[in-house]
Structure 1
Amino acid sequence: MRAFREAVEAGDMDAVEALLAEDVVFTSPVVFKPYPGKAITAAILRAVSQVFQDFRYVREIGDAAGADQALVFTARVGDRELTGCDFLHVNEEGLIDDFMVMVRPLSGAQALAEAMGARFDQIVKDARARSAQGRPGDVRG
């Protein structure tokens, strides 16, 4: 999904959000339960864009015209370096309806969990505010 990659690399989180389906499900690398809905997914992605430092995609895996893509990335959280992969599935409209992230090593995942956990109350507030502005999506705290 070239448009998603370009939006992330440009730091254009509005464009990233526009590529999400209303019923997108986000699966975190550090939380057991998935997060359903565009508002919470967009809020999580906005927060992670602030947590990750030196983020860059290093490889794309999959058929560019296919429904499934994998984008391999590197980043840093504090002094921890990590490698990860965004697994994306797009629906018939070309919008992301399934978004799963995996990261390694464990120390990087732990640093990510700590950094995102510290922001989670604000993430939920941001998602609820976006929903109230006419940006629907299930927001669960």
Structure 2
Amino acid sequence: MHPFRKAVEARDMDAVAALLADDVVFTSPVAFKPYPGKAITAAILRGVLRVFEDFTYVREIGEEDGRDHALVFTATVGGKAVQGCDFLHLDEDGRIDELTVMVRPLSAAQALAEAMGAQFDRIAREAAGE
């Protein structure tokens, strides 16, 4: 089991943050522009855990010692069933330097966008260390 999966399933956000490279780039399924940096990525992931219900990883794809991993998940947000995937790329030190999330169907992506939009002021404060 990938350490990111283990940390997310345990809802251990300190462990999740420790796995992120300082220069990580987070690509959201609902925002056009990627978010660079560990602080904002960790804050977004905390926000996601607040809005997703019944979050479960159902499949892990990638070689244990490889640098690319795909973690398939299911969840519910705003009453909509979500199916998604976290795509991880690891740097030479084994830290996550790219994290791309994709979700389906469109109605679930729209529910996620709405729920995360409601979280974004809090996410920005958390990223700024407030």
Q: TM-score scaled by structure 2?
A: 0.98
> Which residue does the alignment assign to 2:128?
128
> Which residue does the alignment assign to 1:82?
82
Distance 1:63 1:103 in 2: 23
Name structure 1 gaps, 5 residues minimum. Answer: 131-141
> Which residue does the alignment assign to 2:35?
35
Q: CA RMSD in A?
A: 0.9
Matched residue count? 130
Distance 2:129 2:82 in 1: 31
Q: CA deviation at 1:29?
A: 0.1
Q: CA deviation at 1:3?
A: 0.8
Q: CA deviation at 1:63?
A: 1.3
Distance 1:4 1:31 in 2: 22
Tell me the SS of whatever aligns to 1:92.
coil
Q: Which amino acid aligns with 1:17?
A: A
Q: CA deviation at 1:30?
A: 0.2
> Which residue does the alignment assign to 1:67?
67
> Which residue does the alignment assign to 1:96?
96
Distance 1:80 1:64 in 2: 32
Q: CA deviation at 1:75?
A: 0.2
Q: TM-score scaled by structure 1?
A: 0.90
Distance 2:78 2:107 in 1: 11
What does the per-residue CA deviation read over 1:74-122, in whole Å, with 9 as the maximum and x for residues that have no partner? 0000210010000000001100000000000000000000000011111
- After the TM superposition, which segments of 4 or more aligned residues of structure 1 sit over 3 Å from their partners? none
Q: CA deviation at 1:2?
A: 1.2
1:5 equivalenced with 2:5 (yes/no): yes
Distance 1:118 1:7 in 2: 25
Identity of aligned residues (%): 70
> Which residue does the alignment assign to 1:117?
117
Name structure 2 gaps, 5 residues minimum. Answer: none
> Which residue does the alignment assign to 1:16?
16
